[in-house]
Amino acid sequence: MDNIILTIDDLNLSVQNKKILRGIKMEIWAGHIHALIGPNGAGKSTLVSTVMGLPGYKPEQGKICFLGEDITNLPVFDRAQRGLTLAWQEPARFEGLSVEKFILTGAKNKCHKRAEEVLEMVGLDPHKYLNRAVDKTLSGGERKRIELASIIAMEPKLILLDEPDSGIDIDALEKIFSLLKKLKQDGITIVAITHSLAVLNQADHAFLMCCGKILDKGDVNRIASYFQNKCIPCNHDRFITSTIETAP
Amino acid sequence: MNNSNTALELLKSLGIDIGHVFPEDVAKIQVHQNKVVGLHLVPGLRVQADEMKDGIEAEVLIEKGMKIEKPIHICFGVLPEEGLQKVKLHIRAQEESKAMILAHCTFPNARQVKHIMDADIEIEPHAHYAYFERHVHGPKGGVDVIPNAKIHVQEGAEFSTEFELIKGAAGNIEFQYEVNAEAQSKTEMTARISGTNNDQIRLHEIVHLLGEYSTGVIVSHIALKQYAIADIENTLVAHAPFSRGHVDCKEIVVGNAQAKAVPTVLVKNPTAHVTHEAAIGSVDAKQLVTLMAHGLNEDEATDLIIEGLLSKKQNWQNMIKEIE
């Protein structure tokens, strides 16, 4: 039986007195790719921010366990040092910080060669990029791939990806999808927020989220089909008693 | 201590290997308090230095058409805890000459040291003159650094200067630079300063774009911690047709530090165009959490962000490597 690397139990979070996460319960399987889909405003980004422990995202109720350890009250960097990390939908810029230095910031192996390797993995030429600054001279897509490279260099156990394909051109998308497969082969667990069928097709499992709740989980095709055909703005009470299929 | 040993001590205080021998084709001028303790010139460079009671007055000339390939190394310093060093510089880069100066100013043990510099710099038509000034201060912060410079950048000439003080306690800095830029000239002025404890940093930089198609850029990047204070006034005045300019002031404030920035852009011609950007405040939250999600704690992440803000511009790095 596959191992569970992350469990979320009865997670509740409000932001400015507005309930955003309502009793979230999830299990994430080690070495699998999980897709998290749902309409805009469902709470997907809030959920991953809460799992990562970002400031301003402290749950008022519930528990997050990573590798069997309760990390609910741990700060961000402690979670990162334990092997949990996050790639942003829109990565930050860092004036004056070279791509190489940024990539090696959290890297397990802090050598130049490793920086070259991970850049190549995301489809960027190290000779062109390593000495550049992670600033506004890079396109959004370039910064996204560089951030992905920096995350791979960390050799994490679980990566939270916020829309990994947004801003990436078509040529590079294939590279990203191959990368996701490779990461899985290397035993790294992925949770990817996505609106994209192409990313969904890479996943082993899917979660459907709406109005701060996990409405369904399990088979990717079934959930994708439901989302495409039937997911409409709704009253969350309709789903309170939905039967939830257990994960394989 | 003889001149030679003093020169070595100055270099040592800068972290430069004292066994390092400057190549013959590198000009150097080393001044300790009011004494010239090292001087080596190269073809195309003329220096006349007079020692005064509390400093030196020097005329520096880069001859017409001469391209001095290797950076000229100038070192000013006061090694004891107390002292006064006044430097009067008259610099002229003649027509179509080219020179880069790497100036180190070192006050490693300062408790009550004053370094006052007055410079007038004339950059003749189509000459290129670049000046990188790195300050290295001790941890006690007892330094008053008061540089004043008036620069005239003539037609088609290029002037760039970069002031760096990121090592040691800044102390008290009062910086006043004024540039008059003629037609088709380029001016670029950058200051990168780290303030801590009770450091006080005042920068007043003014560039007048007087000639058609002249360009000017003023960049100030400051990081302040503890109780440091910075007051930055950068002014760019575009008088002439098609002149272009940009002012960039970024300050990071941590702890009880205070920062003030007044970027002023004034356009006096409808075809001129000047932009400005200013950002002052705590470390950017997204940058911070990104680095923390890479495993750095908050202090480590803050230091890395500040390091990036205060990093050298690329085109100086090779020049510095040659000297150091």
Residue the block writes with tokens 């990203």:
A176
User: What is the number of residues in chain B?
Assistant: 324
pLDDT confidence of residue A238? 42
pLDDT of A237 over the 90 cut: no
> How far, in Å, CA of A19 to CA of A11, rounded?
11
- The count of domains in chain A is 1
Q: In B, residues 248-307, which contact A (CB 8 Å cutoff)? A: 250, 284-287, 289-298, 301, 304-305, 307
Mutate to test the interface with A, among B250, B294, B304, B310 (most CBs of A within 10 A): B294
Q: pLDDT tens digits for A18-57?
A: 999 999 999 999 999 999 999 888 999 999 999 999 999 9
> How far, in Å, CA of A154 to CA of A164, rounded?
17
Output the domain CATH number for residue A195: 3.40.50.300
Domain membership flag for residue A193: yes
pLDDT confidence of residue B317? 59
Domain membership flag for residue A242: yes
Rounded to a whole number of angstroms, the distance from the CA of B3 to the nearest CA of chain A is 39
For residue A81, list chain B residues with Cβ-Cβ distance below 8 A.
Answer: 295
Pick from B115, B116, B50: nearest CA to B78: B115
B75 interfacial to chain A (CB closer than 8 Å): no
pLDDT of A149 over the 60 cut: yes
Rounded to a whole number of angstroms, the distance from the CA of A41 to the nearest CA of chain B is 20
Instruction: Specify the DSSP class assigned to residue B198.
Output: T
- Taking 70 as the pLDDT cut, the residues of chain B under it are 1, 15-22, 313-324
Contact B305, B283 (CB under 8 A): yes
pLDDT confidence of residue A13? 96
Domain membership flag for residue A223: yes
pLDDT of A112 over the 70 cut: yes
Instruction: Specify the DSSP class assigned to residue A239.
Output: G
Residues near B194 by beta carbon (within 8 Å), at least 6 away in sequence: B165, B166, B167, B170, B222, B223, B224, B225, B306, B310
Q: Mean pLDDT lowest for which of A190-194, A242-246, B136-140, B272-276?
A: A242-246
Residues near B68 by beta carbon (within 8 Å), at least 6 away in sequence: B27, B42, B44, B45, B62, B97, B98, B99, B100
> How far, in Å, CA of A2 to CA of A202, rounded?
18
pLDDT confidence of residue A241? 35
Contact B122, B150 (CB under 8 A): no
Contact A223, A217 (CB under 8 A): yes
pLDDT level of residue A247 (50, 70, 90 thresholds): very low
Taking residue B319's Cβ as centre, other Cβ atoms within 10 Å add up to 17
pLDDT confidence of residue B90? 96
> Given 3-state DSSP classes, what are the helix, strand and coil percentages for chain A, each rounded to the nearest 5?
35, 30, 40
As given in the structure block, the two tokens for residue A64 are 């997050």
Taking residue B22's Cβ as centre, other Cβ atoms within 10 Å add up to 16
Q: pLDDT tens digits for B149-199?
A: 999 999 999 999 999 998 888 899 999 999 999 999 999 999 999 999 999
> How far, in Å, CA of B211 to CA of B187, rounded?
12
Domain membership flag for residue A98: no
Domain holding A161, by residue range, is 4-93+156-246
pLDDT confidence of residue A173? 79
pLDDT confidence of residue A239? 41
Domain membership flag for residue A187: yes
Size of the A and B interface in Cβ pairs below 8 Å: 65
Amino acid at position B229, single letter: I
> How far, in Å, CA of B39 to CA of B180, rounded?
31
| A76:B289 CB<8 A | yes
Rounded to a whole number of angstroms, the distance from the CA of A156 to the nearest CA of chain B is 10
Domain membership flag for residue A149: no
pLDDT level of residue A16 (50, 70, 90 thresholds): confident
Helix (H) or strand (E) segment spanning residue B274:
strand B273-281
Alpha helices in B50-184 (DSSP H): none
Better-scored residue on pLDDT, A94 or B37: A94
Contact B157, B187 (CB under 8 A): no
ipTM computed for the complex: 0.90
Q: pLDDT tens digits for A152-170?
A: 999 999 999 998 887 777 7
Domain membership flag for residue A124: no
| A105:B291 CB<8 A | yes
Pick from B86, B91, B62, B215: nearest CA to B151: B91
Domain membership flag for residue A125: no
Q: Give the angle subtended at the CA of B27 by the CAs of B22 and B29, to the nearest 5°.
A: 95
The dihedral through the CA atoms of A87, A93, A94, A98 has a sign that is positive
Nearest chain B residue (CA) to A106:
B294
Taking residue A206's Cβ as centre, other Cβ atoms within 10 Å add up to 25
Query: How high does pLDDT run on average in chain A?
Result: 88
